[in-house]
Amino acid sequence: MITLEYFYFLVGALFAAFAALSIGDSSNRKRLGNAAFWGLLAVSFLGGSYIGDFANGLIVLALVVLGGFGLLGIGKPATTSPEQRLESATQRGNAIFLPALVIPAVAVLGTLYLKTIHVAGMPLVEAKQVTLISLALGAVLALAAAMIWLRPPVLAPLQESRRIVDTIGWAVILPQMLASLGTIFALAHVGDAVREIATRWIPLDLPLAAVCAYCLGMALFTIIMGNAFAAFPVMTAAIGLPLIVHKFGGNPAIMGAIGMLSGFCGTLMTPMAANFNIVPAALLELPDRNGVIKAQIPTAIPLLLANTVLMYFLVFRF
């Protein structure tokens, strides 16, 4: 049976290759920092299930030190030249995007049909992870198709991948970190602590105060956690359900929908939402890594105010 762990091994091997290639990259004066960062990440993917929580925790701390103290640099991988890429793109036109379309196609088809396939009475793939497995299969098949069709140098995919992750830097692991943070917050009952603090210091006897606290809290926790989906259970357990829904009789569907929109306002204002705000700035080589955030703040704040007003006038009336 194909499980998600096989693809963890594959990703671990990819990061191990980044580490090995980084060591030999003389163009990057911080190549040892890069090699250590990608090497440790490779260990976590290859052996994370076997080395125990304590060792994994040490790896996380080491990654934080390497990224936090600026020990990562950007090299110049030996890959295809700009002239070669331009020639290939000109020759093939928009058809060059066909390998990329393999990924969503395989992901959709795999999600629909892979779980129905059995071999020797056993399911072919792990049913609970069929979507992620299909997505990973799509990426592998897309790479194979591109290699057969485009015939680049053998190491070009690895070198191009390394160039991209070097450009993104430590932010590439931020989604994993934030997912872990959300789990820690849930296990630590942060929602209960927030509710206790809010009820002690904020006059929540009025519906308007509860709505303001909920919407603002969704934005603030999203700024901290980088993900509105992680902030939602914390603020909903702290203020949304006990006050807006149970105490004041608000509509939970409206509360949840507008609450998530309030959280997304926080997404616009935080570097923790690396996929939206930091990665694009890095890939586009913007001079200001926070330029995207600065451009979005004038929109985010009025939008948060509008969401708060909408919730107050809608959540208690429908």
| CB atoms inside a 10 Å sphere around CB 97 | 10
**CA proximity to 149, closest of 83, 101, 81:** 101
* Structure tokens belonging to residue 5: 């762990």
pTM: 0.75
* CA distance linking residue 90 with residue 87, whole number of Å: 5
Task: Give the DSSP H/E element, type plus range, for residue 56.
Answer: helix 52-68
Per-residue pLDDT of the chain (318 residues; tens, 9 = 90+): 788 889 999 999 999 999 999 998 888 899 999 999 999 999 999 998 899 889 999 999 999 999 889 899 988 887 777 788 788 888 888 888 899 999 999 999 999 988 888 888 888 888 888 998 999 999 999 999 999 998 888 888 999 899 888 888 888 887 777 777 767 777 777 777 777 777 677 776 789 989 999 999 999 989 988 888 888 888 888 888 888 999 899 999 999 999 999 999 999 999 888 778 877 887 777 888 888 999 999 999 999 999 999 999 999 987
* CA distance linking residue 268 with residue 251, whole number of Å: 26
Question: CB-based burial of residue 186 (10 Å sphere; 0-12 exposed, 13-18 middle, 19+ buried)?
Answer: middle
* Structure tokens belonging to residue 10: 């594959």
Residue found under tokens 């890095």:
282
* CA distance linking residue 115 with residue 204, whole number of Å: 49
CA angle at residue 265 from 260 to 266, to 5 degrees?
A: 95
* Structure tokens belonging to residue 140: 């592998």
Question: CB-based burial of residue 237 (10 Å sphere; 0-12 exposed, 13-18 middle, 19+ buried)?
Answer: middle
* Structure tokens belonging to residue 209: 């105060």
Kindly list the domain boundaries of the chain, sorted by start residue: 4-68, 82-152, 189-314
Task: Give the DSSP H/E element, type plus range, for residue 118.
Answer: strand 118-119
Residue found under tokens 């057969």:
148
Q: What is the dihedral of CA 237, 238, 243, 246, to 10 degrees?
A: 20
- Cα-to-chain-centroid distance, residue 303: 23
* Structure tokens belonging to residue 314: 């809608």
* Structure tokens belonging to residue 112: 């629909």
Cα dihedral 20, 74, 155, 65 sign: positive
Cα dihedral 98, 100, 106, 109 sign: negative
**CA proximity to 58, closest of 33, 45, 40:** 40
* CA distance linking residue 24 with residue 26, whole number of Å: 6
* CA distance linking residue 318 with residue 315, whole number of Å: 6
DSSP reduced 3-state for 202: coil
* Structure tokens belonging to residue 199: 């009820």
* CA distance linking residue 21 with residue 119, whole number of Å: 39
Report pLDDT for 211: 93
